[in-house]
Amino acid sequence: MSSLAVRKARPAAGTTPGTAQGPPLRRRVALLPTLTLLLGAVYCLLPVAWVVIAATKSGRELFSTFTFLPGTGFADNVSDLSAYRDGVYWQWMGNSALYAGLGALLSTVVSAFSGYALATYRFRGRETLFNVLLAGVLMPPVILAVPQYLLLAEADLTDSYLSVLLPQILSPYGVYLARIYAAAAVPADVVEAGRMDGASEWRIFTRIALPMMVPGMVTVFLFQFVAVWNNFLLPYIMLSDDEKFPITLGLHTLLEQGANTPALYTLVITGAFLAVLPLVALFLVVQRFWSLDLLSGAVKS
């Protein structure tokens, strides 16, 4: 056989017989997950985009046309919303900030203590307690709302700020995350070394374990803040004084009144848009802090 025939029969460099169409086929297959994620992103972001654009439209522009072009009434909408009932909307925003900020902070502290204890200490009934917490994670909040109302009614705490704050302090999901993160981020050897050096358990937790747990606790704080900020059912059951309403319940009352006064619909849409902005800002700030903390932990290790 001649050398020319041998070169023709030999496969080209970098390819194998029968796989000449391999790379293009793999690229086409890889496009499917990307397109699926893009469709999911459009499905989730389309209502948000509509709220952002609708908040810029006046009542006439909102009800006369349905387009994704921005309107000219955003400043007037914000002014009307601020003037509604002497600025009660901003009082609702302040209530939500109080409920979500203080509730998420206290919940994070309780989750940090509980998660560290469950991950570090060995005691009888630890796994049983953890399984009960897991059951609490799976429990829908609607099931717990009425018992919580009955308990707080016995303590004469309904229709108060505490009636919304107290049920938010213990978060089974936050304790679960803290326990998992503490078990992974706090080595047992480091805790034992602290004990051998004579450090107290409180000092070991605050000076050694807690700094290692900060990224996980930031995540717990973010999740709990968003959950309390968006909570509707618990304030709806607990509160009757509209001056103590959070933003979710306040916008609900505006929406109900809009059935008789259609002009209030523009206020509801503008209020919904403004209510999203604190969550976006918090996420951006916390994400930056979270990334920096993870990076610093990686450098230290």
Residue 69 lies in a domain: no
More confident residue, 125 or 288: 125
Structure tokens at 75: 């400043």
When the pLDDT of each residue in the chain is averaged and rounded to a whole number, the result is: 83
Is the pLDDT assigned to residue 128 strictly greater than 70?
Answer: yes
Are 149 and 158 spatial neighbours (Cβ–Cβ below 8 Å)? Answer: yes
Report pLDDT for 6. Answer: 47
Q: In this predicted model, what pLDDT tens digit does every residue of 1-54 receive, in sequence order? A: 445 444 444 555 544 444 455 566 666 667 888 888 889 888 988 888 888 888
User: Quick one: pLDDT band at residue 299, thresholds 50, 70, 90?
Assistant: very low
Residue 72 lies in a domain: no
Is the pLDDT assigned to residue 227 strictly greater than 60?
Answer: yes
Residue 70 lies in a domain: no
Q: In this predicted model, what pLDDT tens digit does every residue of 188-206 receive, in sequence order? A: 888 888 888 888 889 999 8
Report pLDDT for 66. Answer: 73
Structure tokens at 278: 């604190």
Report pLDDT for 257. Answer: 81
Report pLDDT for 291. Answer: 56
Structure tokens at 26: 């793999």
Secondary structure in 3-state letters for 195-207: HHCCCCHHHHHHH
CA–CA dist 67, 54 (Å, integer): 9
CA–CA dist 30, 245 (Å, integer): 48
Report pLDDT for 18. Answer: 45
Residue 163 lies in a domain: yes
Is the pLDDT assigned to residue 106 strictly greater than 90?
Answer: yes
Report pLDDT for 294. Answer: 46
Domain count, the chain: 1
User: Quick one: pLDDT band at residue 301, thresholds 50, 70, 90?
Assistant: very low
Residue 19 lies in a domain: no
Are 99 and 165 spatial neighbours (Cβ–Cβ below 8 Å)? Answer: yes
Q: In this predicted model, what pLDDT tens digit does every residue of 231-263 receive, in sequence order? A: 999 999 999 988 999 999 999 998 888 767 777
Residue 300 lies in a domain: no
Residue 49 lies in a domain: no
Is the pLDDT assigned to residue 138 strictly greater than 70?
Answer: yes
Report pLDDT for 23. Answer: 64
Host domain of residue 232: 88-294
More confident residue, 62 or 15: 62
Average of per-residue pLDDT across 74-79:
89
CATH label of the domain that carries residue 116: 1.10.3720.10
Residue 176 lies in a domain: yes
Q: In this predicted model, what pLDDT tens digit does every residue of 151-195 receive, in sequence order? A: 999 999 999 999 999 999 988 899 999 999 999 888 888 888 888
